[in-house]
């Protein structure tokens, strides 16, 4: 049963029933409930500060994992950058040196980058600094990889050209040298067999029987099959490209014609004694950029080092040419 309250009235000298208005009821309830709410809020703050919720713990674990992954990614990108720098150094110091090529331009390896506002979307997060650093490294790595791919494309082309060049440059003897007694006269000043005067001999004379096969010393194109009554007599001129030409003189017969593409070791004629010649032999010349040079330096693909030394000795000691 609800308790009723009475109040003493001194004017009427009697107790009167206390009437409580609805405003007084609300005020009273507020005075009772408000402290409880405040106290509960304070306890909530204290509890939240001392204890984490399961969701917060999950987020904290996830953040720690992501930070660890970012750091690991950073280490891997830095390692990849170091490997790429080593490859770039090998490219310039080894591969391009082998092919006599200029180093790949540094300005192409350091191609342009974006502005600072490129990373605006990454700012404002706890991991922004790390993410921006990794993004910059990855972009630099991509840039250098692209530049290196261009450089390697050039190296591949150089290698293909080098292979073709090595096959074209004179590198064998024009006649078979089984017993190493075929060089009768070397490159340099020699006694002319007819005029008996000292004269510059611009090639090598290989003694051989008439009809002995004469071989192209490198890949090339026959540019001329020359026929003269004096001088070189019947001779073949081959353009090997890369500034090299060879002449095979005093032939008795041609085994090729102008315009023919020949390969190293292919028979192009037969030894003879045509033109200004005193005995069957082959006069062999090598030109580099229009200048006649010593052919002895181009015998390296078909003889041993010992045989090469003997060839040099014979070419040096021969005093009289055959033409």
User: Domain range spanning residue 226?
Assistant: 183-317
Provide the pLDDT for residue 208. Answer: 86
Give the count of beta carbons closer than 10 Å to the beta carbon of residue 222. Answer: 19
Residue 146 lies in a domain: yes
User: Is the model's pLDDT at 146 over the cut of 50?
Assistant: yes
Residue 175 counted as domain residue: no
Average confidence score pLDDT of the chain: 76
* Least confident piece of the model among 14-23, 86-95, 179-188: 179-188
Q: Say yes or no to pLDDT of 202 above 70.
A: yes
User: Which of residues 244 and 159 earns the better pLDDT score?
Assistant: 244
192, 130: one domain:
no
- Say what percent of the chain tops pLDDT 90: 17
pLDDT for 261-272, tens place per residue? Answer: 999 999 999 999
Identify whether residues 62 and 38 lie together within a single domain.
Answer: no
262 and 213 in a common domain: yes
Assign 3-class secondary structure to 89-153.
Answer: HHHHHHHHHHCCCCCCCHHHHCCCCCCHHHHHHHCCCCCHHHHHHHHHHHHHHHHHHHHHHHHHH
Q: CB-based contacts of 192: which residues, under 8 Å, 6+ apart?
A: 198, 199, 320, 321
Residues 306, 193 share a domain: yes
Are 43 and 58 within one domain? no
Report whether pLDDT(64) > 50: yes
Residues 118, 89 within the same domain = yes
pLDDT of residue 180: 44
């Amino acid at each position: 049963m609800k308790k009723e309250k009475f109040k003493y009235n001194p004017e009427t000298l009697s107790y009167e029933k206390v009437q409580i208005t609805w405003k007084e009821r609300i005020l009273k309830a507020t005075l009772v409930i408000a402290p409880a709410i405040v106290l509960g809020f304070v306890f909530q703050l204290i509890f939240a500060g001392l204890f984490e919720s399961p969701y917060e713990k999950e987020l904290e674990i996830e953040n720690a994992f992501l930070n660890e992954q970012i750091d690991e990614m950073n280490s891997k990108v830095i390692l990849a950058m170091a490997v790429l720098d080593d490859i770039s150094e090998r490219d310039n110091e080894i591969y391009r040196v082998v092919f006599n090529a200029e180093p790949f331009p540094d300005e192409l390896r350091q191609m342009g980058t974006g502005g600072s506002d490129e990373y605006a979307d990454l700012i404002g997060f706890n991991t922004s600094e790390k993410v921006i650093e990794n993004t910059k490294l990855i972009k630099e790595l991509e840039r250098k990889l692209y530049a290196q791919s261009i450089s390697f494309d050039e190296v591949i082309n150089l290698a293909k050209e080098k292979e073709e060049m090595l096959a074209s440059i004179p590198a064998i003897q024009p006649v078979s040298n089984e017993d190493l007694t075929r060089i009768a006269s070397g490159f340099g000043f020699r006694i002319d067999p007819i005029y008996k005067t000292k004269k510059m001999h611009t090639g090598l004379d290989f003694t051989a029987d008439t009809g002995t096969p004469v071989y192209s010393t490198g890949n090339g194109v026959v540019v001329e099959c020359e026929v003269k009554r004096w001088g070189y007599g019947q001779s073949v001129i081959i353009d090997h490209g890369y500034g090299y030409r060879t002449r095979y003189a005093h032939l008795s017969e041609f085994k090729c014609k102008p315009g023919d593409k020949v390969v190293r070791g292919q028979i192009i004629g037969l030894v003879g004694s045509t033109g200004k010649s005193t005995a069957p032999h082959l006069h062999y010349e090598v030109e580099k950029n229009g200048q006649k040079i010593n052919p002895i330096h181009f015998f390296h693909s078909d003889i041993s080092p010992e045989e090469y030394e003997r060839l040099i000795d014979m070419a040096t000691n021969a005093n009289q040419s055959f033409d």
